[in-house]
Amino acid sequence: MESYVFRVRGETVDKPKVVLGVSGGIAAYKACELLRRLTESGHDVRVVPTAAALHFVGEATWSALSGHPVSTEVWSDVHEVPHVRIGQEADLVVVAPATADMLAKAAHGMADDLLTNTLLTARCPVVFAPAMHTEMWEHPATRANVATLRDRGAVVIDPAVGRLTGVDTGKGRLPDPAEIFEVCRRVLARGVTAPDLAGRHVVVSAGGTREPLDPVRFLGNRSSGKQGYALARTAAARGARVTLIAANTGLPDPAGVDVVRVGTAVQLREAVLKAAPDADAVVMAAAVADFRPSAYATGKIKKKDGEEPEPIVLVRNPDVLAEISADRARAGQVVVGFAAETDDVLANGRTKLRRKGCDLLVVNEVGERRTFGSEENEAVVLGADGSETPVPYGPKEALAETVWDLVARRFG
Ligand code: CTP
């Protein structure tokens, strides 16, 4: 796995110290995969399971995969004062899975084993990845505990929806370990203990719409959705509740993000308008088709020997960005647009910003080999206040961070 330069609290660190807390749920086996990802990408991981977690995955596994001894209680190696030291020295604590019981203990500051002691002594960012049955997740007691932890600055990732331990399905699954790893990586890189988007709801659109011609053909575009997904992941790691409206992307659901899938521009508009009323920010990273075929053939369009094809007649699609900018669903809502331009990038960007009426417009130059599908991007963020923020060529995630910095500044 690719390693990267770690910056913890502004300092470059060789091997950030991560505590992986594991509480007693069946999803404990998935934490092994998270542990592997963390160690293979250069983190020094200390696993602190609860006694209940060891019913699911044994001490030998945690110890072998982490390369460290494992203990559940405070009475081992007492001369090293582990119940204080492990938390104090950590750069990040992640609890995955976090059971309802673990969230309750953490919210109330209980400290009856090594993991709960570690949570009380940690002064670094803390991420909880809950996993439990839907009823437990929705119980008012759990809701209150999650709200307390988030108020205190912890990042609590919403569980995923899907098959649970038994035959039932619902919200409560541990998100994909690869996605929990992404949250950890971002939280660690920011190295701040108070996520600045906590308590905010943000809506992000991503991908490219497809306008069907017949059951097998469509008019589409080359947007991969990667920039929108980077925005969603980054916002989640900064504590926001995120609704991601994904148009035709094949990317995995980011952890803790509510993903709504759409196909066409009209469907995307509906989904954005539904999610926008309580949103603090709406970021339109999707490439929305400006036109759609005026007619849809319910059967496949066939070629006819000796005949010219019928011309495709197009009609205008609604401009979602202009609409939400004009009718702000709530006062102070920050609206961000994206513009891909091939020529006169800045001048066209300024005109577009005014025409769309948004607060910020991320303008990037596109061409044959630039931006689409790549991991990198280069842009200038134009503000309705006349500001201009250049973002040098780099990962889409860095651009996402800058966008949220500028949005957070507008929240005041
Ligand atoms: N957008 C939208 N609805 C549309 C078209 C675009 O909400 N029907 C949004 C995109 O999500 C993006 C921004 O508008 O945030 C810029 O889109 P772009 O297609 O570049 O702008 P246009 O107004 O279509 O200008 P152009 O004439 O360059 O196509």
Reported as a pLDDT band with limits 50, 70 and 90, residue 371 is low
Beta partners for 30? none
Quick one: pLDDT at residue 208?
A: 98
Q: Is 265 in the pocket of ligand 1 (CB under 6 A)?
A: yes
- Please state, for a pLDDT cut of 90, what percent of the chain lies above it: 77
Q: 6-190 has which CATH code?
A: 3.40.50.1950
Quick one: pLDDT at residue 373?
A: 64
Closest CA to 335 of 377, 272, 391: 272
Range with the poorest average pLDDT among 72-81, 243-252, 364-373, 384-393: 364-373
* Sheet architecture: strand order including 360-365: 257-262, 241-247, 201-207, 281-284, 334-341, 360-365, 376-383, 388-395
Tell me the two tokens of residue 103. Answer: 């969230």
Residue 174 confidence (pLDDT) above 50 = yes
Q: What is the CA radius of gyration of the chain?
A: 24
Quick one: pLDDT at residue 367?
A: 67
Quick one: pLDDT at residue 1?
A: 47
Q: Is 146 in the pocket of ligand 1 (CB under 6 A)?
A: no
Residue whose CA lies nearest to ligand 1 atom number 4:
319
Distance, in Å, from the CA atom of 398 to the CA atom of 359, rounded to the nearest integer, reads 20
356 alpha carbon – ligand 1 mean position (Å): 8
Task: Give the mean pLDDT of 197-204.
Answer: 95
Q: Is 53 in the pocket of ligand 1 (CB under 6 A)?
A: no
Residue 320 assigned as binding residue: yes
Residue 105 assigned as binding residue: no
Q: What is the 3-state secondary structure (H, E, C) of the chain?
A: CCCCCEEECCEEECCCEEEEEECCCCCHHHHHHHHHHHHHCCCEEEEEECCHHHHCCCHHHHHHHHCCCCCCCCCCCHHHCHHHHHHHHCCEEEEEEECHHHHHHHHHCCCCCHHHHHHHHCCCCEEEEECCCHHHHHCHHHHHHHHHHHHCCCEECCCEEEECCCCCEEEEECCCHHHHHHHHHHHHHHCCCCCCCCCCEEEEEEEECCEEEECCEEECCCCCCHHHHHHHHHHHHCCCEEEEEEECCCCCCCCCEEEEEECCHHHHHHHHHHHHHHCCEEEECCECCCEEECCCCCCCCCCCCCCCCCCCCEEECCCHHHHHHHCCCCCCCEEEEEEEECCCHHHHHHHHHHHHCCCEEEEEECECCECCCCCEEEEEEEECCCCEEEEEEEEHHHHHHHHHHHHHHHHC
Contact status, residue 130 vs residue 103, Cβ threshold 8 Å: yes
Residue 278 assigned as binding residue: no
Closest CA to 209 of 262, 259, 254, 250: 262
Q: Which residues are catalytic?
A: 221
Distance, in Å, from the CA atom of 145 to the CA atom of 160, rounded to the nearest integer, reads 18
Residue 318 assigned as binding residue: yes
Q: Is 327 in the pocket of ligand 1 (CB under 6 A)?
A: no
CA 34 vs. chain centroid, Å, equals: 17
311 alpha carbon – ligand 1 mean position (Å): 24
Q: Is 340 in the pocket of ligand 1 (CB under 6 A)?
A: yes
Quick one: pLDDT at residue 313?
A: 96
Distance, in Å, from the CA atom of 126 to the CA atom of 161, rounded to the nearest integer, reads 23
Reported as a pLDDT band with limits 50, 70 and 90, residue 116 is very high
**Digit-coded pLDDT (tens) for 278-302:** 999 999 999 999 999 999 999 999 9
Residue 168 assigned as binding residue: no
Task: Give the mean pLDDT of 64-86.
Answer: 84
339 alpha carbon – ligand 1 mean position (Å): 7
**Buried b or exposed e, range 288-326, using 16+ CB within 10 angstroms:** bbeebbeeeeeeeeeeeeeeeeeeeeeeebebbbbebbe
Residue 2 confidence (pLDDT) above 60 = no
Distance, in Å, from the CA atom of 268 to the CA atom of 273, rounded to the nearest integer, reads 9
401 alpha carbon – ligand 1 mean position (Å): 22
**Digit-coded pLDDT (tens) for 29-40:** 999 999 999 999
Contact status, residue 87 vs residue 17, Cβ threshold 8 Å: no
332 alpha carbon – ligand 1 mean position (Å): 22
Cα dist from 316 to 18, 222, 223, 294, whole Å: 52, 19, 20, 9
Q: Is 286 in the pocket of ligand 1 (CB under 6 A)?
A: yes
Atom of ligand 1 minimally distant from the CA of 317: 8
Q: Is 320 in the pocket of ligand 1 (CB under 6 A)?
A: yes
Reported as a pLDDT band with limits 50, 70 and 90, residue 195 is confident
| Residue to substitute in 209, 244, 321 for testing ligand 1 pocket (most ligand atoms within 8 angstroms of CB) | 321
**Burial of 63 per CB tally in 10 Å (0-12, 13-18, 19+):** middle
Distance, in Å, from the CA atom of 401 to the CA atom of 302, rounded to the nearest integer, reads 48
| Residue to substitute in 209, 317, 320 for testing ligand 1 pocket (most ligand atoms within 8 angstroms of CB) | 320
Residue 178 confidence (pLDDT) above 80 = yes
- Whole-prediction pTM value? 0.88
Q: 28-40 vs 177-190: helix axis angle to the nearest 10?
A: 50
Quick one: pLDDT at residue 3?
A: 47
Q: Is 245 in the pocket of ligand 1 (CB under 6 A)?
A: no
Q: Is 28 in the pocket of ligand 1 (CB under 6 A)?
A: no
Residue whose CA lies nearest to ligand 1 atom number 9:
321
**Digit-coded pLDDT (tens) for 224-278:** 999 999 999 999 999 999 999 999 999 999 999 999 999 999 999 999 999 999 9
Residue 290 assigned as binding residue: yes
318 alpha carbon – ligand 1 mean position (Å): 10
Q: Is 283 in the pocket of ligand 1 (CB under 6 A)?
A: no
Residue whose CA lies nearest to ligand 1 atom number 21:
339
Q: Which fold has domain 201-410?
A: Rossmann fold (3.40.50)
Residue whose CA lies nearest to ligand 1 atom number 20:
339
Q: Where do the CATH 3.40.50.10300 domains begin and end in the chain?
A: 201-410
**Burial of 115 per CB tally in 10 Å (0-12, 13-18, 19+):** buried
**Buried b or exposed e, range 338-371, using 16+ CB within 10 angstroms:** bbbeeeebeeebbebbeebbbbbbbbbbeeeeeb
101 alpha carbon – ligand 1 mean position (Å): 47
